[in-house]
A and B are shown apart, each in its own frame.
Chain A
């Protein structure tokens, strides 16, 4: 623009003589390089029939075996699911919420489970909650990670609303709705042969959580002191890093139906064994119509029992095989020569005329 006057002294002799500017002109010529001329070596893939067919076939070849393997793995998993929140309440009680909230009443309940197939150890014990929105925004945010990790940050309760401090303003450790609503049903298993099946509750949480997120010198304080108890009370002498139920619970679930690990039974269970479960039905899911289930499950290399992946993989593999055949037929029956100019719009237009 006009304000380029500042650049002017650099070009004193442009007009008078045509010569002498050649060097300068040459410097203006764009330097040739394959990059600037956009001529870098390149791979230019085109979808030839061979490529298309082989891609589909390849996907099929990979997917079907994976699907079969996943399905087999899922079938190997033995799972016992027992819904108990309806059974473990006296039939004559109409005010279920009042019943469950009354600490004076014993909530003991006995369930008998039959083992359908051999279950190799370890047998994982889960509780499953339905219709419990642990992923609700109000809930997910109601915690303070600093407080959990660091002893000195005990007063740090921001974000813990509406369960932040006690009535007299003392900070609650661990604060927040998540901790407050800690699941408090307990299970005790007895084998049909009279043996007590010990549930190993150690290492049920993530190691990283135990070591870094929950401090080993942070102890529960003022927890569940209020009139309204949300769930389990914590032993104030045990540091948070050892409160594995809490740690598991505080890794909030992604979906409204979720399982949480309760413990492991490190004994092989045989087919047709019966297991008696002595449980305490303390946790209030009646206020929102949530289901409670007790789950005993083995695992496979793919995790728990879930046919979805297997079926999905097999069907996609199948579809790909189908498409591969379809395109093979198409290319055999009605091949289009690649780069055939007669398909060009201006050529075909002319043909139409």
Chain B
């Protein structure tokens, strides 16, 4: 409970602090918010950046003025340190973000900019607020500017569906091309195809897409309808009555019962709990499954006691996306009450463990934070697709050339025959008859126009040269690939019950070409399940000899020590007997006091909520002799571990409200008033709580990152002996801290101090003002915190183990063999990072570590230059212009550097240095150095620096990058990388939401990349080439024929055959092969990770292959045309028969071509391939059975002709002969790795030497 106090306003201290604080709030705060409070205690292992050497040298100064006086000499040092911090932490991120905007074009920069916009409006100016009159929705929404609670996630309505859907669909260039072609065909001089036929492909595609969109939207409509018509109890006409969700308006008072979902964003007014506590589950919002506490302000709880007395005005910020921030205040009964994020419950949350809550609606419907957040993450485009576009450009050049040839030929022919044009029986320029049109030109517009029209009509005939169907095919193929990735039982995480998720459907094939993996550490490499392992209390190290489990120990202990009832904990904790003795023994002394205070701090200084098995926490007192199980729900796993540990040592937190906490100290209930709580933030890197003991003593309990706490310790005590004692403790603790972090433990330092009455008053005034402030509250709160977070007495430190995830070392080893470099980017300390890297075999002992910890730009330059000189890293000749051309060379040189005999290098660099390096002129140096190292560890990096490092590689090389992480701090990196993978971990769902793929465990990465990535890449690469071939061979065949028709763009094929060719006759096998073909089994791929390198070498798709394919296409098209041409040269064959022959021949040819390249024949493949040929024949038969078509009965005549069959056989064999011969020669003399592995696998000989050689090679 925060007592009302007159505001002690101090202009002096305000003036002194505000410029400093504001300077960092403007920027520094943005870091925090950008990452949505990611730097929780969870990351508090790191810290030293904030070396805020705030020392108020006034231990015994009880007067406010004195503090100011004492502080002023320190101002310069404040300035320095604040500035230093600012430089170290904040600008880095800012610069990265700005540079990102500068470098990246298009959607990406838009994305980042969008983000910054979002955070800019965090601090609304006072006039930019919305006023909510409680229980007066009409007055609240006088101007009708607030939306109702009806939500609409659907895109279309019945009426707008058609126009809007078409509009959206035509955003695709391919469709516009379709449309343009169809439009051209409607012009009378150009009508090459029948008019309706030409519309068919476009209509087909549009219909399919529209149907898909329509179905999705219908489902959204349905869910919206369900959602909107849910019921809630709304206060109206003097009592709570049921009202549909969609009719709820801002300003109304709503009552929600246990397990119900919150309909809109509401400020809590009261709950069934007398203290105004409510528990909510935010699963739908951020995916965190633990319960969060929300508080009703105690001032407002009486409102709910008597029905109908709801009144007051809430002044809150405009709706925004940030689900972790809310600033508002409330005027009620003349009081001004501050409201923060803990007073609001958001739409989509569920009420838990609370009988009812009453709240007032502040944001409704589309303005709720949940709805504002429901934007879809921007889609990425795969690299292969961008290469594909390059080749599509080539195809358009071919198309243009062919059309130009036809147009030119037409021109020449017309010129040549100009005098005869009127008399040519097959041309007849003029109308013959004597009627109205006598003597007029018929469809003749002069030679230049005829050339032009001829060009356009050949564009129509050759349109499928640009393989538009490829885009649809690829989408379908990726969909199928995703299905198999999702269904892969070996990527299912049984522990968390999470399947693999494909959130992005555009980049499956990128998974086969990853060269760099940027991994987060916490929660990604490690489990993020914290275990309290070590403690350093009063300079003594505990936890080296752990015995038994906590509960067991309790049982063994004599009842007089731990005679209180046993609190059952969810997890069991190993206890250190010595520490237990110390705590509960009879030896008094400083050590024991410190130990008790230590655990008290662990139990009190946190935001963890205890949930006892019984619903009401009050009943706990009664249930003295029962075993009561208690579970701690908190936002940070570290805190949970610490509270659980404290409980195991006899300091059990059993109740927490806004105003007080109850701690069971060895069976003795200790009720502590919480006067204030400064939550953890990334700038201070510590949290503190001010509590009043029952005996009115007031203490500040602090815990935080080592550097941030150690620098604000009290080490100027008058008593000399004490000073040495505290210095000794400090030294010892620091030693222990180093020790812990060497073992890979996450460390926190615990400290406390007593607060005198005057200090308390001053702080309270400040705190009060800050917490009701509507603007810059965080800033002001930080000022308040600075007042009390100083001169602390060190109590000790904790070491929490962050366990490695299952299979991490093996995965990293495999990935490395696959030629993938794994970089670890972590916010943790250097020592922790190195130790984790060692334990996951990323670093090995024989590696040479280059450590770069620069504190200035000059420093970094020197360090980089030295490292480069020492290890002989040659600058890579690599300019922007030659980037694409030198691709191959570049990769070659990279491999040389990596594979060369010099000792493996590991680069360890910290966030500080990165500030000076990234986006400065040192960047190229870092790039060269980092890329020649086997391992790169970046410690203490800010989230945006992570993105910056990804960008370093992305912008300077063509290599594919993958970022993997689980926390909100990885979001920027996940979005920046070519492929973003989110781990469904404990840190919420932001990473998953931003990711392209999400999975449960790091180790699945191996399977994802080595198996699925490889397959997808091979499949899609082949698919693209095959599609190019398939369409080009058809178009070229038409082209050769047109040369025989006086350039008149006649097609021998019927209109329907031309349309069906790419839609029906040949599309299914490509899709099936694109989904199901496998060159190697997953076992082989996992056994020989090096096979993955084929993706790095662009083996499945490159310009070289494209040209070979095109050459092959040319040959095949020539065969296709000239075999029938010569076979039927002087015969009675008619145009439709020849067209029919060509149709069948080309369908058979392309399908057998595909069949020749299929590497794994399953039943479906057989069905698709041979089925396509059969379907094509059936279609031909059907089309030739319609008497109104000119081609009527053609096929029946042909099948009785032997020449026909011989021609088709000849075409197929002759066309494929060169390809087959080349394939055989290639495989005989230059076998690829994949082929060898395939042979070895299929022939059943995995010779031992094969494996052994690999093993040796790895060493």
Contacts and interface: CB of A to CB of B under 8 A. Distances in A.
Interface stretch (A114-122, A126-134, A263-271): A126-134
A93 interface: no
B168 interface: no
Interface centre among A137, A288, A323 (most CB of B within 10 A): A137
A161 B1046 CA distance: 19
Nearest to A348: B1233
B352 A136 contact: no
B430 A162 contact: yes
Interface stretch (B682-690, B967-975, B1131-1139): B1131-1139
Contacts of A284: 423, 425
Nearest to A59: B1213
A47 B1050 CA distance: 42
Contact of A254 (B899, B1133, B1159): B1133
A161 B423 contact: no
Interface in A44-79: 44-47, 52, 55, 59, 63, 66, 70
A28 B1135 contact: no
Contacts of B428: 138, 162-163, 177
A259 B347 contact: no
A17 to B, nearest CB: 9
Contacts of B435: 165-169
A313 B1228 CA distance: 27
B555 interface: no
Nearest to A27: B497
B1178 interface: no
A292 interface: no
A237 interface: no
B1100 interface: no
Interface stretch (B75-83, B130-138, B283-291, B326-334): B283-291
A105 interface: no
A65 to B, nearest CB: 12
B434 A226 contact: yes
B1217 to A, nearest CB: 7
A120 B1123 CA distance: 29
Contacts of B1123: 312
A145 B1132 contact: no
Interface stretch (B390-398, B481-489, B839-847): B481-489
Interface stretch (B54-62, B531-539, B1145-1153, B1198-1206): B1198-1206
Contact of B432 (A135, A228, A330): A228
A341 to B, nearest CB: 5
A108 interface: no
Interface stretch (A83-91, A185-193, A194-202, A296-304): A296-304
B172 interface: no
A316 B1123 CA distance: 13
B433 interface: yes
Contact of B497 (A24, A136, A181): A24
B1231 A336 contact: yes
Contacts of B442: 161-162
Contacts of B427: 133, 136, 138-139
Interface string B398-424: 000000000000000000010010011
Contacts of B1049: 137
Interface stretch (A4-12, A238-246, A272-280): A4-12
B1192 A209 contact: yes
A126 B1132 contact: yes
Interface string B1154-1165: 000001111110
A236 interface: no
Contacts of B1253: 341, 347
A140 B1050 contact: yes
A325 B1203 CA distance: 30
Contacts, number: 348
B1224 interface: yes
A102 interface: no
Given A177-B428, A288-B423, A308-B1127, A1 B488 contact: no
Interface residues of A, number: 121
Contacts of B1210: 309, 312-313, 316
Nearest to B483: A36
Contacts of A135: 1044-1045, 1048, 1050, 1052, 1135
Contacts of B1202: 301-303
B791 interface: no
Contacts of B1241: 339
Interface stretch (B369-377, B643-651, B855-863): B369-377
A19 B486 CA distance: 25
B350 A8 contact: yes
Nearest to B283: A14
Contact of B1159 (A44, A161, A208): A44
Interface stretch (B309-317, B522-530, B1243-1251): B1243-1251
A47 to B, nearest CB: 6
A186 B426 CA distance: 21
B1187 interface: yes
A44 B1253 CA distance: 26
A94 interface: no
Given A8-B261, A309-B1207, A47 B1192 contact: no
B1160 A257 contact: no
Contact of A344 (B1130, B1197, B1236): B1236
Contacts of A287: 420, 423-425
Contact of B420 (A6, A15, A31, A288): A288
Contact of A30 (B486, B993, B1127, B1233): B486
A42 interface: yes
A204 to B, nearest CB: 10
A212 B1193 contact: yes
Contacts of B675: none
B1197 A47 contact: no
A327 interface: yes
Interface string B1224-1257: 1001110111001111111101010110010001
B433 A167 contact: yes
B1126 interface: yes
A316 B486 contact: no
B1188 interface: yes
A233 to B, nearest CB: 15
Given A136-B1048, A327-B1224, A36 B484 contact: yes
A309 B1125 CA distance: 11
Contacts of B1197: 206, 208
Interface in B1032-1057: 1044-1046, 1048-1050, 1052
Nearest to B1133: A254
A336 to B, nearest CB: 6
Interface of A: 1-9, 11-12, 14-16, 18, 21, 24-25, 28-32, 36-38, 40-47, 52, 55, 59, 63, 66, 70, 97, 126, 128, 132-140, 143, 145-146, 149, 161-169, 172, 177, 180-181, 206, 208-209, 212-213, 226-228, 230-231, 251-261, 284, 287-288, 301-304, 306, 308-309, 312-313, 316, 319-320, 323, 327, 330-331, 336, 338-341, 343-347, 349-350
Closest 3 CB pairs of A and B: A339-B1240, A167-B434, A208-B1193
5 contacts: A3-B151, A30-B492, A137-B1050, A306-B1131, A330-B1228
Interface of B: 151, 153, 192, 220, 223-224, 226-227, 259, 261, 281, 283-285, 289-291, 347-348, 350, 352-353, 370-371, 373-374, 376, 417, 420, 423-428, 430-435, 437-438, 442-443, 484, 486-489, 492, 494, 497-499, 570, 611, 631, 633, 899, 993, 1044-1046, 1048-1050, 1052, 1076, 1078, 1082, 1090, 1093, 1123, 1125-1139, 1159-1164, 1187-1190, 1192-1193, 1196-1197, 1201-1203, 1206-1207, 1210, 1213-1214, 1217, 1220-1221, 1223-1224, 1227-1229, 1231-1233, 1236-1243, 1245, 1247, 1249-1250, 1253, 1257
Given A30-B487, A43-B1160, 6 more contacts: A14-B289, A24-B497, A132-B426, A136-B1048, A226-B433, A309-B1210
